[in-house]
Structures are given as structure tokens and as C-alpha cells.
Amino acid sequence: MQKEIFRTKNYWRNVDKHIFLSFLLLFVLGIFFSFSSTSFLADERLDKDYYFFFQKHLLYALVSFSLMIFVSTINSDLINKILIPVFFFFLLLLILVPFVGVEVKGAKRWLNLYIFRIQPIEFVKPFLILVIAQIITSDHIKNLKSSHLISFILLSIVTFLLLIQPDLGQTVLIISTWISLIFVSGLNIFFLFMILAFAILAFFILLYIAPDKFSYIITRLTSFMDPTKSEYSQSQKAIEAIKQGGLKGQGMGEGILKESVPEAHTDYIIAVVSEEFGSIVSILIIIIFLFIAFRIIKKAVNFSSNFYKLSLSGLTSLLIFQTFIHVGVNANLLPTTGMTLPFLSYGGSSLLSSGIVAGIILNYTSLAEKINDK
């Protein structure tokens, strides 16, 4: 009997309502905060309509939410079959970036598809995690060490493509997620430290070999360690905005961070929220992400299938690491990385990627206690 492509029957009964509603809440909050964080940029700096970026964010959010629903209803077996070709499709787009990509502020990270721009790494990330989960749990690979080696080679390819853009933030994110993934799969702690040491050594070798290419990394690290030695002070402005907002905030539209930091609506959205609505709202947003992670892990432990356990663990790590990198930069606890906050930051690729991640999570968690290793 042929399996159905979509699992729409009893959808609401099977889906994890806590996770679904949490994702919905994040989408709604992102739309609301977008209005406050983008209006000044559109009106004063770019001489656009006051609602220009807000309307675009609203469109991206609605498409992303629809994508989440769509992906969450696809038969999971079909998703698992197309993971590898979809991953290599987006990997091909990532390979094209250094050659035909659009350069913005000295970095090539986007492809211009005429109608819109796409940042391929946003779509590579979730499928890289799922493909690695397939590799680690594959019956065709003889032992765990071999599967870890193959996954490391795959990671190295993506990391290399990111470093030549350059994009240090995304590089740190995918390496961190990969480490958490292989750690959960049962990697020996000694080998884990060896990998970390290798990664750190490779990083400093790159800085030595191509100082001009990665000079921005040195600048950001220097300004982070000693802000008085550099005029690069976006994170300092962000932490000052958070302090000014206090617990209750300055009021909607009353913040000034969006007037002084060009990427406030993307890289510093949590600081904008804190300044205008108070740190209490930012804390609640972080709690929502932690609650989602808790619900996902609670579902994941019920699987007897190692693939679903690893996949959900990896996607959870991706969301949490990205969230805390964004918050860490905004709180001046980490060097500036240009990292968006999932579901809330402005950006089409980021929002669409968030929708895909959310859809896969909802899809897989709805299968808890129904899937067994074959």
C-alpha cells in the first residue's frame, strides 16, 4: 500500500500543541517587534515608506509560518528520503556564493536571484544536521568512528565555504551544533577535546596565513577585549540600550538604539526589545526558547530510533546556540558575530529557515512513541 505524502488526518491531535503554540507566539512577537525596530530605518535612513520593512517582515513571517505547517504535515519517511538531495542543492548554492555572490560590507554571503536575495547557509544548516544524523545512524557504515569522520569531512567543507565569505558567526554556530550532535551520539570525550584543539589551531593558522582576509575577526576580538582601542562599539551601544530600558523599558518607539546601530532590526533585535519593552520581555523570550527545547528533548527521549533522537537533539542545539550567541553579543558577553535571533530578527532567509526547522521539529515530535528502529 502506497504511503500518503501528507499526514493531515488528526493533525492537531498528534502535533505537540505546546511546541506549536510556542513557535506561533515567537512569530507573532517577531511581527510586533519588527514594526518598532524597522520604522526609523525605512523612514529616516532609506527614505522609504514608514511600513516598508514591516510589510516585508510580515510577508516573510506569514510565508515562514505556512512553510512550517506544510513541512510538519509531510510524511516523515518522504522527508528522510529527500534530505540528502535537498542538502546538496543548498550546498551547491553555498559553493556559488564566493563566485557570484552579492558583497555587502566586505562579505559575500548572499545570492541575488533577481526577485529576492537568499543566504544559502541558513538553509544548509538544518539539512546538514539531519544528514549528519543519517550518517551517524546508518547501517551501511561499519562503525561509529567512521561515521564521525565522514560527518567531520562534511562539516569541514561547509566551514571552509563559510570562512572564505567570511562568516565567523555561522562557522562557530555549526561547529558548536556538530560537537553537541556527535557528543550525544557517543563520541569519546578525549576525541572531542582533540577536535576542539584542532579547530582552535586551524583558526589561528588561518589568521596567520591570510591576515587581510580575516582582519575583521582580529578587529572584533580586539574591540571586544578592550573597547577603548577601537571605535567599533555596536555591542557597547546595545548593552547601554539594555541598561537604559531596565526591567520595564522606555516604551514602544522610544528607544534610540535603532537610530545609532545600522543592523538593530537583525543582529541587535533583543537589545531593541529590552530598551523599549524592558529586560523582563527579553527574559520571557529566552524562556520560550528554553521551554521549546525542554519539550523537544522530552519527546526525543521517547524514541527508540537513534536517528530521530539525534535529529531532534541537533535541531534543538541549533536553535539554542543561535539564540544564546545572539543574546551574548547583545549583552556584550561575546564578540560581534552578525547572528540573527530565530523567528524574531528581520530577514527573509533567516525567517524561512526558522520555518523549516520548526516544521521538521513538529513533524518528528508528532511521531514520538510510534517509531522504532528497523
User: What DSSP line would sit under 176-216, residue for residue?
Assistant: HHHHHHHHHHT--HHHHHHHHHHHHHHHHHHHHH-TTTTHH
Run means of pLDDT, 10 residues per run, the chain, 374 residues: 75 93 96 78 57 85 96 94 95 93 78 86 96 90 80 91 86 91 79 74 73 64 60 72 86 74 81 91 96 95 90 96 92 82 91 96 83 44
Judge whether 63 and 352 are in contact, CB under 8 Å: yes
The amino acid present at 6, given as its one-letter code, is F
Judge whether 99 and 112 are in contact, CB under 8 Å: no
pLDDT at 229: 54
pLDDT at 231: 44
pLDDT at 35: 81
Per-residue CA distances from 133 to 71, 76, 316 (Å): 19, 15, 13
pLDDT at 296: 96
Per-residue CA distances from 296 to 9, 178, 293, 359 (Å): 22, 18, 5, 13
pLDDT at 230: 52
Give the span between the Cα atoms of 353 and 123, in whole angstroms.
Answer: 6
Closest CA to 329 of 108, 173, 162, 156: 173
Give the span between the Cα atoms of 175 and 171, in whole angstroms.
Answer: 6
Give me 318's grid cell: 541549533
Per-residue CA distances from 24 to 63, 277, 293, 326 (Å): 13, 20, 15, 20
The distance from CA 239 to its chain's CA centroid, rounded to whole angstroms, is 22
Q: CA angle, 175 as apex, 170 and 179 as ends, to 5°? A: 150
Give the span between the Cα atoms of 293 and 252, in whole angstroms.
Answer: 29
Judge whether 263 and 45 are in contact, CB under 8 Å: no
Q: To which residue does cell 528533548 refer?
A: 297
pLDDT at 79: 94
Give the span between the Cα atoms of 270 and 344, in whole angstroms.
Answer: 9
Closest CA to 91 of 115, 127, 67: 127
Give the span between the Cα atoms of 277 and 250, in whole angstroms.
Answer: 7
Q: Is 139 exposed, middle or buried (0-12, 13-18, 19+ CB in 10 A)?
A: exposed
